[in-house]
Chains A and B, each alone.
Chain A
Amino acid sequence: MFSRAYKAAVSLPPLIWVTLFLLVPYLLMFCYSFWTVAGGNVVHQWNLSNYGDLITKDVYRATLFRSMRIAARVTIFALLLGYPLAYFLSFYAGARKNLFYQLVIIPLWVSYLVRAYAWKTILGTDGVLNTLLQFLHITQHPVDSLLYSPFAVVLTLTHIYTPFVVLPIYAALEHIPRTLVEASNDLGASPAQTFWRVIFPLSVPGMVAGATFAFVLSLGDFLAPQLLGGPSGIMISNIVVSLFGAAFNWPLGAAISFCILVLVVSLLALTERLEKKWSYS
């Protein structure tokens, strides 16, 4: 139905733009990761020493693993908070369904930086929570360990990514034909059996989609750890930021970035397969 000229006209401009301003930059990053820094300049001398550093120096490996642990915690908490909410929205919200759905989305319209900052004002030594606890005479002295800890980072990221988990689970639950649920009930399954044998398995692709989002986005976050993490809450992106800033080692930063890219892309490939395998159609 569409001529060659039409196809070329719609394909070429985005193809050229995306190649020039996405593909080339990512490839450039790949090249940089094999170069080195000498005397405050980037030297175009191909070698594997950056990747060698990543393997041999503990600080990078430890930070990457810490980031993955934090991201995994965020994902689990977001699923625990988000799944029942999505289930409630889909099956029990009744006439108010749309309103409740919008209430999940509205926080996404508040700047992410601003929400992280708000948690900082809540968790700080003189913050809202500490002064509230003292006001209620629950504690006598401020609890110092709330802010500047991995806990603060996990809390903030869970807050930010819970809506991202709710939305795909809700979409998956909405797509379950209600006749299936009724059939299960009619055939004598208990509500628990209906949930675990019918509803839950059909919602797994939505969970996988939401969990992927939460994990990948929190893995690469640098803002929450910088604002609320303190020294013990540093994540891998903070190292990249410092390598591209004050520490001036672009090649090493590029090598770390490339590893994150590979990690993210392979994770996506994996979850895409899982979603396809478990999807109902």
Chain B
Amino acid sequence: MELLVSTGAHASRKLRWLSVHSVAVYAFLYLPIVTLIVYSFNGAGVGGFPPRNLTLNWYRILWQDDPIWVSVQNSLIVAASAVGIALGFGIPAALALDRADFPGKAIFRRLVLLPLILPGIITGLSILMLVNVAQVKLSLWTIILGHGTALISVATTEVFAGLQKLDRAQEEASLDLGANYWQTFWRITLPNLKLPIIGAALLIFTLSMDEIAVSFFLIGRDNTLPLEIWGRLRRGITPEINAISTVIFVFSLVAIVLWYRMRMPAEIPAEMPAENSVSYL
């Protein structure tokens, strides 16, 4: 690699240009996030340069804002349940795609991954039609159904990628030595898939916490956090929204750091499902 870098003035000009470009792209990616955080401390509202009257007031208002915290609680319930459903069906789906042959397998593979790439509202309104035909009332349960089902794609992608790296010999040895399939699954297969499963769980949790398109039509009387924020954006905006976003961003950052600490010894860099899914749809 150093070979490439060290070829004269032309190369160094190219490197300088590339560096400037990269810094500019990073600035573009982080500008809204920095703005968001800075203005959460701005006494004078969401806009206006320079920020003035720095204050923690918006955080105090946020702290006392019960509907927001109820919606956070709802989102946590939905996200945790979505992780359960998506892993519960996504792990077997990955095993099935890896090891079983059945009629319609190619269609099944595409169908599972479709919600990842299809506009969320289409998945959401399709499930709404089912719910409507079945005459089920909209509630947090219907959102859980939507998120869980749509996010099976993430669990399947991650676990399937993990299975490709798995050493089959261990499972064979286990079966040869008299363990049954169930024991082999719990003691060999699952522990070997620990990292992809935890990675998938984190990703599903985060995606569900942020999900708005699928939820949009499946919402009952209880709002999730993004829908609560969405509702407030239409009524007029205050830095309180910046404040709640900042709090969640900090929590996400802590989660990412913990995750990489855990994953670091195993392998880097992490794969986003975005990398795999298109190529194997």
> What residues on A are CB-neighbors of B129 within 8 Å?
25, 28-29, 32, 250, 254
Contact A15 B126 (CB under 8 A): no
Question: Do the beta carbons of A128 and B226 come within 8 Å of each other?
Answer: no
Q: Are the C-beta atoms of B96 and A21 separated by less than 8 Å?
A: no
Decide if B108 is an interface residue (CB 8 Å cutoff). Answer: yes
- The answer to the question of A168 belonging to the interface, with a C-beta cut-off of 8 Å to chain B, is yes
Specify which of B14, B213, B245 is in contact with A222 (CB 8 Å cutoff): B213
Interface check B18, CB cutoff 8 A = yes
Q: Answer whether residue B260 sits at the interface, using C-beta atoms and an 8 A cutoff.
A: yes
* Cβ-closest chain B residue relative to A121: B46
A42 to B130, alpha carbons, bound, how many Å? Answer: 14
A-B contact count (CB 8 A): 285
B266 interface contact, C-beta 8 A: no
Establish whether residues B96 and A7, one from each chain, have CB atoms under 8 Å apart when the complex forms: yes
Which residues of chain B have C-beta atoms less than 8 A from A53's C-beta?
A: none
Contact of A92 with B5 in the complex, beta carbons under 8 Å? yes
Known A-B contacts A11-B92, A18-B89, A88-B18; A122 and B35 likewise in contact (beta carbons under 8 Å): yes
CB–CB A182/B3 < 8 A: yes
| Per-position 1/0 for B122-139, Cβ under 8 A of A | 110111111001000000
Query: Do B229 and A113 touch (CB < 8 A)?
Result: yes
Q: Which residue of B lies closest to A244 (CB)?
A: B125
A128-B47, A216-B117 given as contacts; is B21 within 8 A of A7 (CB)?
no
Is B241 among interface residues, defined by CB-CB distance under 8 A? yes
B interface secondary structure, majority: helix
| B55 CB–A CB distance under 8 Å | no
How many residues does chain A have at the interface if contact means C-beta atoms less than 8 Å apart? Answer: 105
Closest Cβ neighbor of A194 among chain B residues: B4
Number of residues from B at the complex interface, CB < 8 A: 100
Would you list which residues of chain A between 123 and 178 have a CB under 8 Å from chain B? Answer: 124, 126-128, 130-132, 135, 159, 162-164, 167-168, 171, 178
**B residues less than 8 Å from A8 (CB atoms):** 100
Q: How far is the CB of B112 from chain A (nearest CB, A)?
A: 6
| Residues of B contacting A24 in the complex (Cβ-Cβ under 8 angstroms) | 130
Q: Give every chain B residue within 8 A of A120 (Cβ-Cβ).
A: 233, 237
Establish whether residues B49 and A132, one from each chain, have CB atoms under 8 Å apart when the complex forms.
Answer: yes
8 Å CB contact of A220 from B3, B88, B121: B121
13 contacts between A and B (CB under 8 A): A10-B100, A24-B130, A28-B126, A81-B25, A109-B206, A114-B245, A120-B237, A121-B237, A128-B49, A209-B279, A240-B121, A260-B119, A272-B279
Could you list which residues of chain A lie within 8 angstroms of chain B, going by C-beta atoms? 1-3, 5-11, 13-15, 17-18, 21-26, 28-29, 32, 81-82, 84-85, 87-89, 91-92, 94, 98, 100-115, 117-122, 124, 126-128, 130-132, 135, 159, 162-164, 167-168, 171, 178, 181-182, 185, 191, 205, 209, 212-213, 216-217, 219-223, 227, 237, 240-241, 244, 250, 253-254, 257, 260-261, 264-265, 268, 271-272, 275
**Shortest beta-carbon contacts, A-B, top 6:** A220-B119, A25-B126, A118-B32, A7-B100, A14-B93, A11-B96
